Structure 1
Amino acid sequence: MRFWGVRGSIACPGAEYQTYGGNTSCLEVRCGPHVLIFDGGTGLRPLGLHLMQNGGAASEGSEIDIFLTHTHHDHIAGIPFFAPAFCGKSRIRFWAGHLKPESSLHTVLCKFMAAPLFPVPPAIFGADVAYQDFEAGETLSPYPGVKLRTAPLNHPNRATGYRIDYGDRSICYVTDTEHVAGQRDSNIVELIRGADLVIYDCSYTDEEYAAKYKGWGHSTWQEGIRLCESAEAGRLAIFHHDPSHDDDFMNRIMAEAQAARPGTVVAREGMVLTP
């Protein structure tokens, strides 16, 4: 898997974000020949350009699946700029598990890409685009041998966590969720139990969360460690960095987290991990 966007809330340009990156949430997971993308933040644009290059996975008749945790702006801002969506007969499936029964993913994206917020609607896409709504908690099988377990997360307007099982390896993508101090979220513990890699919403430190961020819908890197310990999971990847956390701040988090649980990594744009 490869990180294309690791930031939360809003994209952050500037020299102080060069090490870890300023694009918002997007990661690419390869399961054999299959391309699975998780979230469509601003990192989706450079990923799309990469897929269109020689040796990339976007071509006539290619299939790409994009699984959204939710549809807050920082997780969908890159969708209108995803180059493969304009590529002939390519097939793209968008998935979301947080909108039923009140709405649908197609409806939400049509509102997002509508005047006066955006000049053209999703109908502008030239690819064969499908929209798949499900309910968090379901197990998905987009391809033979690829299993995605899902779970509801504690976030305003709801969100979905994912576990990808392929072969004998597993990756969990659990972002935009808030914990309850002193408790482990049983939905998350069961989702990540025994997983090789856990990518978790570590927007804040425990100190920041207690001081001013309760109720904001996000968690801490210390809670990520506690969850991985409770679930006997493998490596933790700290993810969804707050815009106020520049490279120096993230370097300090990396040192503290690696001391607390060796093997922990801080996600940065371009980082490739193999579970």
Structure 2
Amino acid sequence: MSSNGDRFEIKFWGVRGSIPCPGTQTVRYGGNTTCVEMRVGRERLIFDGGTGLRILGDSLLPEMPVTGHLFFTHSHWDHIQGFPFFAPAFIPGNKFHIYGLPAPNGATIKQRLHDQMLHPNFPVPLQIMQANLEFYDIEAKELVQINDVTVETGRLNHPGEALGYRVTYQGLAAVFVTDTEHFPDSLDNNVLHLARDAEVLIIDTTYTDEEYHDPKSSKVGWGHSTWQEAVKIAKVANVKKLVLFHHDPAHNDAFLDNIKLQVQKVFPNTLLAQEGLVIDLSLV
């Protein structure tokens, strides 16, 4: 796009689920857990705070002061474990708006981020963070308006509940749907609605169909989906570009390369999320 005011770019800072998996076998796709940044117009939106959030935060240090909007899908460990290491949150003058779905037990997103930083689990409390942090509890189907950027929410099929997000700006849409499990006999209408006619769909594809239905180690009910099911969603929702996301830590570079070959045969405009990948929606 021609200027910052017209920008709609997505950058991937963490693409794994469950647990970080650094090592020689995960170099190309990356080993950090989930964190995706969207630069939309003049706004910075961040989705999830896995260990990739630490890397993103370090990259922002030369830009102080910064303002951003941080959206959590849910508070499972792999989606919040980078937050205590998000350096800009410790620096006065920065401001972050933080959004999340209240947990089934009523705990707010502020409470859950606070609790993971309590002794004996962490040496310093959330109150040490000197940036201006504003917290918002949001519900499924709620719209969040950030100037001329619209963020739409939808409930996902995941243990403990989770939110998916659709970001719309100047007629372009990017969708972030993780963690979610497909239904056995029909497509998830919540996911289809979020993904409708989107330029980019980033979606949970932790498993292959073979792994998901493995009779010796079934993944049914674990809250995650497969690349085969993602293709079904992308086709029905008329998605332009599909991005496979939330890679299983057991899937090394070679395994993911093989998935890419398979999925591009049935949905050619597919990418596998990898750390450092940048997508410009105007070029999709």
Q: TM-score scaled to structure 2, two decimals?
A: 0.93
SS at match of 1:208: helix
Moved more, 179-188 or 73-82: 179-188
Moved more, 12-21 or 109-118: 109-118
Match of residue 57 from structure 2? 48
SS at match of 2:280: coil
Structure 1 segments unaligned to the other structure (5+ residues): none
* Aligned mates of 1:250, 1:184 — CA distance in 2: 24
CA contact 2:143–2:152 (8 Å) conserved in 1 = yes
One of 169, 176, 200 as aligned partner of 2:179: 176
CA contact 2:195–2:239 (8 Å) conserved in 1 = yes
Query: For 1:73-113, what per-residue CA distance to the aligned partner results, in whole angstroms no more than 9, with x for missing partners?
Result: 10001101111101212111111024377121111112111
One of 255, 270, 273 as aligned partner of 1:267: 273
Answer yes or no: is 1:76 the counterpart of 2:80: yes
One of 1, 9, 18 as aligned partner of 2:18: 9
* Aligned mates of 1:101, 1:136 — CA distance in 2: 16
SS at match of 1:183: coil
CA contact 2:17–2:78 (8 Å) conserved in 1 = yes
CA contact 1:44–1:79 (8 Å) conserved in 2 = yes
Match of residue 19 from structure 1? 28
Match of residue 165 from structure 1? 168
Match of residue 230 from structure 2? 224
SS at match of 2:150: strand
Describe how 1:1-275 pairs up with structure 2 within 5 A.
Answer: 1-53=10-62, 56=63, 59-60=64-65, 62-99=66-103, 102-141=106-145, 143-211=146-214, 212-275=218-281
CA contact 1:98–1:158 (8 Å) conserved in 2 = no
Q: Which amino acid aligns with 2:194?
A: L
* Aligned mates of 2:119, 2:39 — CA distance in 1: 35
* RMSD of aligned residue pairs (Cα, Å): 1.1
CA contact 1:99–1:133 (8 Å) conserved in 2 = no
SS at match of 2:213: helix
* Aligned mates of 2:75, 2:92 — CA distance in 1: 26
Task: Give runs of ≥4 in structure 1 deviating > 3 Å.
Answer: none
TM-fit CA distance, 1:247: 0.4
CA contact 1:95–1:132 (8 Å) conserved in 2 = yes
SS at match of 1:242: coil
TM-fit CA distance, 1:271: 0.3
SS at match of 1:9: coil
Moved more, 77-86 or 90-99: 90-99
Query: For 1:55-90, what per-residue CA distance to the aligned partner results, in whole angstroms no more than 9, with x for missing partners?
Result: x4xx23x31111000000100011011111012121
TM-fit CA distance, 1:140: 0.8
* Aligned mates of 1:208, 1:253 — CA distance in 2: 13
Structure 2 segments unaligned to the other structure (5+ residues): 1-9
Q: Which amino acid aligns with 1:247?
A: D
* Aligned mates of 1:101, 1:117 — CA distance in 2: 21
CA contact 2:104–2:160 (8 Å) conserved in 1 = no
Match of residue 4 from structure 2? none
